[in-house]
Amino acid sequence: MLNRPVNRLKKILSHVTVEPVMFLDGMCHWSMQVFMEVVFMNKICETKIGLSPEICSNITAHPEENILVQKEFSTSVFQNSIIMSILPLTFVLFMGAWSDLYGRRMPLILATLCHVIWSGGYLLNTWQISWPLELIYVVTLFDSIGGGSQGLVSTTIAYISDVTPVETRTSRVSTALSLWYFGGPLGNLIGAVAIQYGGINLALSIVFLVHLTNFFYTVFYIKESHGPFAAIKPTEESAKAESNLEKEDISKTRMFLDFFNWRRVIEAFKTALKRRDGYSRMILLTVILSNMLRRAARGFFMYSFVRRSLGWDAAIYSYWTSYRTLIAAGGSLVLVPILTRRVSIGDCFLIVVGSLSLIGEYCCYGFVSGLATAFMMWMGPLAGLISNASIIAHKSFATKLVSPAEKGRVSAVMAATQCLMPMVGYAMYAPIYHKTVETFPEAQYFIGACIVAVIMIIFLAYHLTDIANAMKGTDTEEEETKNNNAKDKVEPKLSHACITTPETIKAPFSGLETQDDKSSMNTYVVNIKYNLTDDQLSRDSTKKADFANMHKDIIGYENKLSDAEILQSEGENGKCASHTDGNINSKQSDHRRYSSQM
């Protein structure tokens, strides 16, 4: 009786790869958001401003000093955000293109190693409180070399895309990102207990050990999913995109020099900007830009806000952060798979739903003005239950708009542009918070809600347009089916259907050499002549090359037919030719002109 659930559990575990990396990194990332602000506050208070430890440990009881520390804090974290943004931008652009060629494992190892150095650096700075504040910028520099959290997350998504088919990719990306967010509550809870009973040093020591564990797991367990060193069988579409490099042709020197190849960075942006079928390029650029806006809209002075408005310390704030991230992660882990699999909601509408949820959350925080309205801080996460759906949908949507060979580059562009947003966000919110901290510190949340509202409106318009087009397409398809069925009843069925692409022409066309059916031969000559126009060939070099290779065969078949037979075939199969040319005069002269242009 227990065999079935046990076997199912074994099957699930057999597919586990980078999910533990995401979970452990999420634990550390979200707890470090709190610990970083605590370390900055302590450094600014005791080292930069020079206040006594007694005042700094109870800063909320000294309003004037508290305002002074918070203003200095807003300036210092903005300077730190520049380092957090610029270097990860460079890293993910280089590494995204590099990983498309050589694989995803090395970027994951580098990112986890830099996280170890980063957490260890903060731990050393808390042990040595007399060290200058500027040393924290050096610590941030080490983490930025590995791409920060965005470098790790973007590489992980590319890894999942390598081993997961398109049909289940959104669900698995959702699971991985949800685990990253789901690790936050546990990390914050452990951090809150550690701060309350052991201080900030104990909390940072735990983060350091978890990052170290993550690094060893990546080194010894994660197998390569892409490139010449791949040890995992990729999906069919990813296999087609594999590079032609062989292990024997690769040296460590070549791999190192290829990492700093600026042409790959240019290729990454060319991939995002290049012309695509239909509206794909416009939608892809919209996804990239809205992902940047979403990150910029985030409130960057949350701990400062609750410390100023509610008098919370780091322990209470950590408990609240655990609650918030638990609600958000649980919502995305449960609701997103249900919405995508059971209800079949697309990525576009998922962004709308997630944005609406985030607007509600920010508005709740905006109404917190003191202890009397503190309950709104606890209502906010409930309003933002499915806010993470927007993040998940942005990342998944982008990989579906490009070919398998471009997934790493597009993920890199997404991550790189998002890496700029802490700097942009701090540059935007720092002066706002600096001016409003004394009178209206919650202003930042209403500004964030307005930015997210713009994203929601854009994708709602896309969604409604997509529904309209889908409805039109369905009606047209049904109408054509009815018309074809009606024609089949009164007309004899042709031995071959109308042909419009080189891929569909090649196989049946080559088979005519062994057929005696002259009517079929006539049909193919007419199809090739009229179903692809000169304009289509001029815009599609691939089709032009394919038909150039078939030119001799076409001429050969034409010579086998008399003028009367060609004209007779054109008359019988006029409905095929009418798809592109309508009424056609001088059939043979048109065909010779068309053949000469190949």
pLDDT in tens, 284-307: 899 999 988 888 887 678 888 898
170-180 CB burial, b ≥16 within 10 A, e <16: bbbbbbbbbbb
Same domain, 156 and 282: yes
Q: Is 165 helix (H, G, I), strand (E, B) or coil?
A: coil
Among residues 559, 555, 525, 531, the alpha carbon closest in space to that of 543 is found at 531
Per-residue model confidence (pLDDT) at position 355: 94
With beta carbons less than 8 A apart as the criterion, state whether 261 and 100 touch.
no
14's tokens: 């057999």
In this predicted structure, the answer to whether residue 513 has a pLDDT above a threshold of 50 is no
DSSP state of 540: -
Same domain, 533 and 422: no
Among residues 143, 413, 430, the alpha carbon closest in space to that of 296 is found at 430
φ, ψ for residue 272, nearest 5 deg = -70, -30
Note down the domain range covering 90.
Answer: 17-223+263-467
Same domain, 417 and 334: yes
> What sign results for the dihedral spanned by CA atoms 348, 353, 357, 359?
positive
With beta carbons less than 8 A apart as the criterion, state whether 217 and 375 touch.
no
What lies within 8 Å, CB to CB, of 165 at 6+ separation is: 235, 236, 237
Per-residue model confidence (pLDDT) at position 375: 93
DSSP letters, 322-373, are: HHHHHHHHHHHHHHHHIIIIIS---HHHHHHHHHHHHHHHHHHHHT--SGGG
Residue spans of alpha helices (H) in 274-313: 280-297, 302-309
In a domain, 345, yes or no: yes
In this predicted structure, the answer to whether residue 216 has a pLDDT above a threshold of 90 is yes
Segment 409-431, tens digit of pLDDT: 787 788 778 777 878 888 888 88
Same domain, 384 and 449: yes
Same domain, 416 and 530: no
pTM score, whole prediction: 0.62
> Domain boundary residue among 467, 488, 519?
467
Torsion angle of alpha carbons 246, 93, 172, 119, nearest 10°? 110
In this predicted structure, the answer to whether residue 538 has a pLDDT above a threshold of 50 is no
Same domain, 388 and 329: yes
Segment 322-354, tens digit of pLDDT: 898 888 878 877 887 788 777 778 888 899 999
In a domain, 478, yes or no: no
Distance CA 480, CA 498 (A): 14
Distance CA 56, CA 328 (A): 33
